Amino acid sequence: MLIKSLTVGNMSVCCYVLVCEETKEAVVIDPGGDAPKILAELKKLGATLKKIVNTHGHPDHVAENASLKKSTGAAIVMHVDDAAFFGQPEVVQYFSGLGLPFSPPPDRLVKDGETINFGKESLTVIHTPGHTPGGMCLYSKPELFSGDTLFVGGVGRSDFPGGDGRQLFKAIRDKLLTLPNDTRVWPGHGYGGQSSTIGEEKRSNPFLTDDSWAR
């Protein structure tokens, strides 16, 4: 699997272009802005976009869903809980202050443990609620695309509507820190760096060595 990381949008989202090197089928994770940049990367790689996958429904991670779908016909994939949550009028009103477009209705809803296939590659859904109700990470050993659940040296916020610090910490502890130490972490924002490993986050992430913030 070929991985290309792009920083997109005015909130500096880490967007990932993943390509099956044998079939050239691709997925894009979290297209939060700069659709022309993403499309240019796909063209450069000779890849055909099949799926647009959102780790969660915040507008800064879904802003180019509609544009990419219109340009490529790719299917939008989101966790079922976030599709429901971000469809609520009061939630739309709250996040509309960001001035970013929301996603069209997803074409496929997924749950924990399901797989998202592209070519001969696949991503396993790991449901990690806490940043949002349907926040999820995507795992293809040894790669983990952690969205806004786990950053390099940090964790996602839980003070937005739908957030829950206890849930977030439990998901990180029970579902992410149990992965092999050499698992490569690709976060949703590069606040502390563009990538890390589960082992390094266990050793040095201050939020994981002191979980008092989640109590």
pLDDT single digits (tens) 128-161:
999 999 999 999 999 999 999 999 999 999 999 9
pLDDT-based confidence at 214, cuts 50/70/90?
Answer: very low
Task: Please say if the pLDDT value at position 4 is more than 70.
Answer: yes
Beta strands (DSSP E) in 72-193 are 75-79, 108-110, 115-118, 121-127, 136-140, 143-147, 150-151, 154-155, 184-187
To the question of pTM greater than 0.85 for the whole model, the response is yes
Q: Of all residues in the chain, what percent carry a pLDDT higher than 70?
A: 97
77, 105 in Cβ contact below 8 A? no
96, 121 in Cβ contact below 8 A? no
Domains of the chain: 2-214 (3.60.15.10)
pLDDT-based confidence at 52, cuts 50/70/90?
Answer: very high
Query: Average pLDDT for residues 181-185, to the nearest whole number?
Result: 98
Query: Average pLDDT for residues 189-196, to the nearest whole number?
Result: 95
Nearest to 196 by CA among 150, 149, 140, 129: 150
Q: In this predicted structure, what is the pLDDT of residue 211? A: 54
Residue 165: phi and psi, rounded to 5, are -60, -40
Comparing 22 with 210, which gets the higher pLDDT? Answer: 22
Nearest to 61 by CA among 131, 121, 3: 131
Tens of pLDDT, residue by residue over 53-94, are: 999 999 999 999 999 999 999 999 999 999 999 999 999 999
Nearest to 47 by CA among 14, 73, 66, 23: 23
pLDDT-based confidence at 215, cuts 50/70/90?
Answer: very low
Q: In this predicted structure, what is the pLDDT of residue 213? A: 47
Q: List 14's β-bridge partners, or say none.
A: 7
Burial of 84 (0-12, 13-18, 19+ CB in 10 A): middle
pLDDT-based confidence at 209, cuts 50/70/90?
Answer: confident
Task: Please say if the pLDDT value at position 170 is more than 60.
Answer: yes
HSE-CB of 207 using CA atoms within 13 angstroms: 23
At residue 189's C-alpha, the angle toward residues 188 and 190, to 5°, is 130
Structure tokens belonging to residue 57:
């429904």
**CA–CA distance, 119 with 171 (Å, rounded to integer):** 29
**CA–CA distance, 202 with 145 (Å, rounded to integer):** 17
